[in-house]
Chain A
Amino acid sequence: MRRKQKWLVNGIIGYLLLLLVFTGLAPFFTPYEPGAVGLSAVLQPPSAAHLFGTDELGRDVFTRLLYGGRVSLAVGTAAMLISVVIGAGYGAISGFVGGMIDRVMMRVLDALISIPSILLMIGLQIFLPHSLTAVVLIIGMTSWMPIARLVRTETLSLKGEVFVQASAVVGASSRQLLTRHLLPQCLPTITVMSVSGISHAILSEATLSFLGLGIPPHEPSWGNMLMGVQNYVLSGIWWIAVFPGLFITLTVLAVTFLGDMLQDRFALPQFRKGERLL
């Protein structure tokens, strides 16, 4: 695997860079507007004029993919950041304080983990208005639990280390201990978790939007483009479904591989048990 890994790494990084360039500079790569409705060219199959065809309103699928990529990637990253902040904070506090509070916090975590994530998102969705920010918040607030658990375990074992105890002895406050010693030590774990968190968030956004619980329809996103395509697929109109899904899959795959390689690089023992898979 070692020798072959190099082209894999290059390929993945190349794909992600290309994606960033294409979505970031979308107007330079397409003559169409993402929202431009063309009722004379509805549901056209892929052609020279419309690389990936047009959808049920005559909008260019390729254009919407580029613009939608912006939304999907941004939502994925923002949601991941939220979940990392909540997760790392929760885990560090729980592990650092210990005792009864730790036990209660962990049982609350267990309870939250045992609610299937989509149901949790559906539940949260009731309280938040239907918007882009809401989707980011919902995904962020429902995916921090694995990070919290890992950070807690790590904080717990770090707490006993000599250098932490030494700085406690010389009078470092709890806050200093947490922010200067414990959390920085957890950084490799957090980095790996946040990379895989992006792929989770992209998938969640796609699923939520597909189910009609996600991003409002006027804003193109990869998940959104797939909303309501089932009937078209069943009548054989494949292009409006195939391309967005392909991009989601490729991107998630690339990010997942990236996370996997980072994890190898850091050689983190706590990931060997397969825990990161949740």
Chain B
Amino acid sequence: MIKFIASRLAEAVIVLFIGSILCFAFIRMLPGDPATAMYGDQLLKMSQADQMRIVENLGLNEPLYTQYAKWLINVLHGEWGHSYTTGEEVKVMVTRAIEPTVVLMLSSTVIILLLSLFFGMVTGLRRYSILDHAVTIASFLFMSLPSFWFALMLMLFFSVYLGVLPTAGIGKEGAGDWLKHLIMPSLVLALAHIGYYIRILRNHIAIIKEKEFVWALQARGVSQRKILFKHLLPNASIPFLSFIGMSLSLTLAGSVVVETLFSWPGLGRLSLKSALAHDYPVIMATILLCMSVVIIGSFLIDLLCAWIDPRLRNQLMKEADK
């Protein structure tokens, strides 16, 4: 087991390492070298010696790998530089934006879990029923909706016509207000991907339902409910869980759109705003952060899957031993 965890961890670290190299390469390819970015036109007026000194101070004359190492150490220490537009420390801006994004993602995950567990189970058990057809069509529809347009349509209905839900920001006047502000953004974020979850659960329940061990259970007179919750669901939960891991980056991408539309002060909105303003340090920090979250998240989900399913665990442990 330890060997398996270690090999997975090593894999995650390698991916993180490669990702950080990509990010570093990205920074170095940005238009304009760091010295010009810092001093602008003044650099041209300086004497040759002064220019050399600046280049030396910034460490630009060192080999690339030393520069990368220094950059990485800075990043790990949370020194992400200052925003080009506001001059604020990037670390402060990013930390402030984390909480709203986490809230949004958690609430949309709750919606996804509740709805897709229910509809996935029902449609998997009764395939090709009317409800199944309806859910299938709805799933495909939600997969095809551009989420920003769906958000606009929700706003049109709930805010303009009914006038019941607010369209922007986080609610600050008590729990009810807070919840009201949260409903539309998390609904949009959840429904954008819910079709996939429902389909995955439905298909797996339908496959597992026909397995011999289920027939054996039915023949022995085990109640349907017990078969469903003790046998079908746990078996179907593995692909379901691993999809949550895979779709983390989809959800984060979705939050860029959703947060921008609903003026939700999270990471997504921050990254788009800084992209439009060409605020490189901030973009860099958000990309690095999101990437790390996705990699660490899918590592944890992998572990969770192996912990739940002994067959998977054995197989993975064997692979790790090789």
Q: Which residues of A contact B (CB under 8 A)?
A: 1, 107-108, 110-120, 122-123, 125-127, 199, 203, 206-207, 210-213, 223, 226, 229-230, 233-236, 238, 241-242, 244-245, 248-250, 252-253, 256-257, 272-274, 277-278
Contacting pair A274 B239 (CB below 8 A) = yes
Tell me whether B111 is interfacial, beta carbon within 8 Å: no
From B160, B199, B272, give the contact of A234 (CB < 8 A).
B160
A235 partner residues in chain B, CB cutoff 8 A: 160
Interface of A is mostly: helix
B158-189 contact mask (Cβ, 8 Å, vs A): 1 or 0: 01110000010000000000000000000000
Known A111-B15, A111-B291: A241·B152 in contact at CB below 8 Å: yes
Main DSSP-derived SS at the B contact region: helix
Determine whether the beta carbon of A210 is less than 8 Å from that of B253: no
- Asked if A245 contacts B15 (CB within 8 A), the reply is no
Besides A112-B22, A211-B260, 17 other CB < 8 A contacts? A111-B19, A111-B22, A111-B291, A114-B249, A126-B30, A210-B149, A213-B276, A233-B152, A236-B160, A236-B161, A245-B145, A252-B146, A274-B199, A274-B203, A277-B196, A278-B246, A278-B250
**How far is B282's CA from A126's CA once the two chains are assembled, in angstroms?**
14
B174 to chain A, nearest CB (A): 24
Q: How far is the CA of A1 from the CA of B250 in the complex (A)?
A: 30
18 intermolecular pairs with C-beta atoms under 8 Å apart? A107-B11, A114-B249, A114-B294, A116-B290, A116-B294, A119-B286, A120-B287, A126-B31, A206-B146, A206-B148, A206-B149, A230-B261, A245-B145, A245-B153, A249-B144, A249-B146, A274-B203, A274-B243
B205: interface (CB < 8 Å)? no
Pairwise interchain contact A233-B287, C-beta atoms closer than 8 A: no
B149 touches A115 (CB 8 A): no
CA distance A86 to B152 in the complex (A): 34
Contact with A along B255-287 (1 / 0, CB 8 A): 011001100000000011001101010010011
When C-beta atoms are compared, the residue in chain B nearest to A244 turns out to be B149
Which residues in B have their C-beta under 8 angstroms from that of A107?
11, 14-15, 18
**CB < 8 Å neighbour of A257 from B16, B140, B200:** B140
Which chain A residues border B280 with CB–CB below 8 Å? 126
Which B residues contact A (CB, under 8 angstroms)?
A: 11, 14-16, 18-19, 22, 26, 29-31, 128, 133, 140-141, 143-149, 152-153, 155-156, 159-161, 167, 196, 199-200, 203, 239, 243, 246-247, 249-250, 252-253, 256-257, 260-261, 271-272, 275-276, 278, 280, 283, 286-287, 290-291, 294-295, 298
Residues of B within 8 A of A123 (CB): 26, 283, 287
User: Known contacts A114-B249, A253-B144: does B257 contact A119 (CB below 8 Å)?
Assistant: no
- Tell me the complex Cα distance, A107–B14, Å: 7
Min C-beta distance of B272 to chain A, whole Å: 6
List chain A residues, Cβ under 8 A from B14.
107
Bound Cα distance from A239 to B256, whole angstroms: 25
Which chain A residues lie closer than 8 Å to B257 at the CB level?
118, 207, 210-211
Pairwise interchain contact A245-B199, C-beta atoms closer than 8 A = no
Give the docked Cα–Cα distance between A272 and B207 (Å).
11
Give the docked Cα–Cα distance between A113 and B11 (Å): 14
Q: Across the interface, do A119 and B271 meet the contact criterion of CB distance under 8 Å?
A: yes
B271 partner residues in chain A, CB cutoff 8 A: 119, 122
Residue in A113, A203, A233, A277 whose beta carbon sits within 8 Å of that of B249 in the complex:
A113
CB–CB B253/A117 < 8 A: yes
Report the bound CA distance from A127 to B26 in whole Å. Answer: 10
Chain A residues with CB under 8 A of B146: 203, 206-207, 210, 223, 245, 248-249, 252
Q: List residues of chain A with CB within 8 A of the CB of B291.
A: 111, 114-115
In the bound assembly, the distance between CA atoms of A1 and B141 in angstroms comes to 18
Could you say which residues of chain B place their CB within 8 Å of the CB of A206? Answer: 146, 148-149
Whether A241 pairs with B160 at a CB distance below 8 angstroms is: no
Q: How far is the CA of A79 from the CA of B144 in the complex (A)?
A: 18
Residue contact A230 to B290, C-beta cutoff 8 Å: no
Residue of B nearest to A113 (CB): B249
Q: Which 3 A-B pairs have the closest CB atoms?
A: A245-B149, A116-B253, A111-B19
* Complex Cα–Cα for A230 and B276 (A): 18
Q: Looking at the assembled complex, report how far the CB atom of B282 sits from the nearest CB atom of chain A, in whole angstroms.
A: 11
The smallest C-beta distance from A155 to any residue of chain B, in angstroms, reads 20
A122 CA / B268 CA spacing, docked (Å): 11
Residues of chain A contacted by B294 (CB below 8 angstroms): 114-116
Question: Are B249 and A116 closer than 8 Å at their CB atoms?
Answer: yes
State A112–B20 Cα separation when bound (angstroms): 11
Q: A118 vs B160: C-alpha distance in the bound complex, in angstroms?
A: 29
Known: A114-B291, A245-B152. A256 touches B144 (CB 8 A): yes
CB within 8 Å for A211 and B152 given contacts A107-B15, A114-B249, A277-B196: no
Residues on A with beta carbons closer than 8 Å to the beta carbon of B11: 107
- Smallest Cβ-Cβ distance to B256: which chain A residue: A118
Measured in the bound complex, the distance between the Cα atoms of B153 and A123 in whole Å is 29
- Which partner residue on chain A sits nearest B133 by CB separation? A1
Q: Which of B19, B152, B159 has the most CB of A within 10 A?
A: B152
Which residues of B have CB within 8 Å of A114?
A: 15, 19, 249, 291, 294-295, 298
